[in-house]
């Protein structure tokens, strides 16, 4: 049976940095209060001109470049997000078009902060079954647009970003085991009510209902530490490993206290746990792939290492994978890569423009023939 292995990684964070001292001017809080309770010191905020697909494309291009793979070689693009560009079409379809992945299917996965690991599990299953050979998985979110900047319990936590991995079929172990789960009885603990069929537009049709993210922090904290621990233990056991054989543990970057509590429950030493929540905040589905990229950049993962990823999110959902790292990530990309990708994305843009023009012309011809008949 073919195994799914990661051959490329990429990440993108918006330029704007929002620090705790800046938040002190926006809401009743303090740098000390935020750091003590969350470990977060700053987060990235997307520019109003940046949609989720824009972040996803930049991360996806980097993953393709690292893997020296063309968009045309990708069989499927999966974007894990709970902040899509539109209710429809899928953000993945927009990303697929801009990457020039003309032969690829495209779909979004919404498991909130657990979405990336959900998508990773699904992609691995398609590769293992032989139904796909190359899958691009992207986690991208802009939760800042749903934050109430007067609510210090939520606005201090979240940031924006995107991370991506390219999976390919291979004979080496790669992803060894995975698990996914959900407990919908807790769906109301972490939610953005507005925008769906349950909470529609208000009577005047203008002001959205329930547009802000709401969270029961204490209950989510207790549940998250239990479920991330249980999911990690499950994939470690099902992969045939023991705790001592885990080289690096990368949990969802939601809150430093949750990360530390989960690591303590598992019995992992601090040097085997990766965290960057202090600089990015909770980037939802993007948090694990961004952390994975940084861990690789710091030389914390080498070929043959066993890595565990575990996450939780709204739903309430959770997911984890255990994988054996098998890709040599180049320290420096070929200088031709930027030129090649610029050419490919421009060709994709021209193709897209031509297809739209063909449809317009076809519509005019159809309408003219209909009138004449």
Catalytic residue from among 20, 97, 110, 113: 113
Q: What phi-psi label fits residue 68: left (phi over 0), alpha (psi between -120 and 50 degrees) or beta?
A: left
- Which one is catalytic: 97, 121, 155, 252? 252
Active site residue 282: yes
Q: Are strands 160-170 and 3-12 parallel, antiparallel or unpaired?
A: antiparallel
Which residues is 118 bridged to in the sheet? none
CA distances from 159 to 13, 194, 285, 350, 368 (A): 9, 20, 11, 33, 51
From 110, 121, 255, 282, the catalytic residue: 282
Q: How far apart are CA 185 and CA 351, in angstroms?
A: 46
Q: How far apart are CA 201 and CA 208, in angstroms?
A: 5
Clarify whether 82 is annotated catalytic: no
Q: How far apart are CA 250 and CA 146, in angstroms?
A: 26
- Rounded Cα distance between 144 and 193, Å, is 15
293 is a catalytic site residue: no
Residues with catalytic annotation? 113, 252, 282
């Amino acid at each position: 049976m073919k195994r799914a292995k990661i051959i490329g990684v990429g990440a993108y964070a918006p330029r704007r940095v929002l620090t705790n001292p800046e938040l002190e001017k926006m809401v009743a809080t303090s740098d000390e209060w935020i750091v003590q309770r969350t470990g977060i010191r700053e987060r990235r905020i997307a520019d109003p001109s940046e949609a989720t697909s824009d972040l996803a494309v930049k991360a996806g291009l980097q993953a393709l470049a690292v893997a020296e793979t063309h968009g045309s070689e990708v069989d499927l693009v999966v974007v894990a997000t709970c902040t899509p560009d539109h209710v429809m079409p899928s953000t993945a379809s927009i990303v697929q078009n801009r990457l020039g992945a003309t032969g690829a299917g495209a779909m979004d996965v919404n498991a909130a902060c657990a979405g990336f690991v959900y998508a990773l599990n699904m992609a691995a299953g398609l590769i293992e079954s032989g139904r796909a050979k190359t899958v691009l998985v992207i986690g991208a979110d802009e939760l800042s647009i749903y934050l109430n900047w007067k609510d210090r319990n939520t606005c201090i936590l979240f940031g924006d970003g995107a991370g991506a991995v390219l999976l390919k079929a291979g004979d080496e172990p790669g992803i060894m085991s995975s698990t996914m789960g959900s407990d919908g009885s807790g769906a109301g603990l972490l939610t953005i009510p507005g925008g769906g069929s349950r909470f529609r537009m208000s009577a005047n049709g203008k002001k959205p209902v329930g547009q802000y993210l709401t969270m029961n922090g204490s209950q989510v904290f207790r549940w998250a530490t239990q479920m991330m621990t249980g999911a990690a233990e499950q994939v470690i056991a099902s992969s045939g490993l023991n705790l001592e054989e885990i080289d690096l543990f990368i949990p969802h970057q939601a809150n430093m206290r949750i990360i530390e509590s989960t690591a303590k429950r598992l019995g992992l030493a601090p040097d085997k746990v990766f965290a960057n929540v202090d600089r990015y905040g909770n980037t939802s589905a993007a948090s694990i792939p961004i952390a994975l990229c940084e861990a690789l950049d710091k030389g914390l993962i080498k070929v043959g290492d066993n890595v565990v990823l575990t996450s939780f999110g709204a739903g309430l959902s959770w997911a984890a994978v255990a994988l054996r790292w098998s890709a040599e990530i180049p320290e420096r990309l070929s200088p031709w890569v930027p030129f090649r990708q610029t050419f490919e994305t421009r060709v994709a843009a021209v193709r897209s423009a031509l297809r739209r023009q063909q449809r317009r012309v076809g519509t005019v011809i159809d309408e003219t023939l209909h009138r004449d008949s």
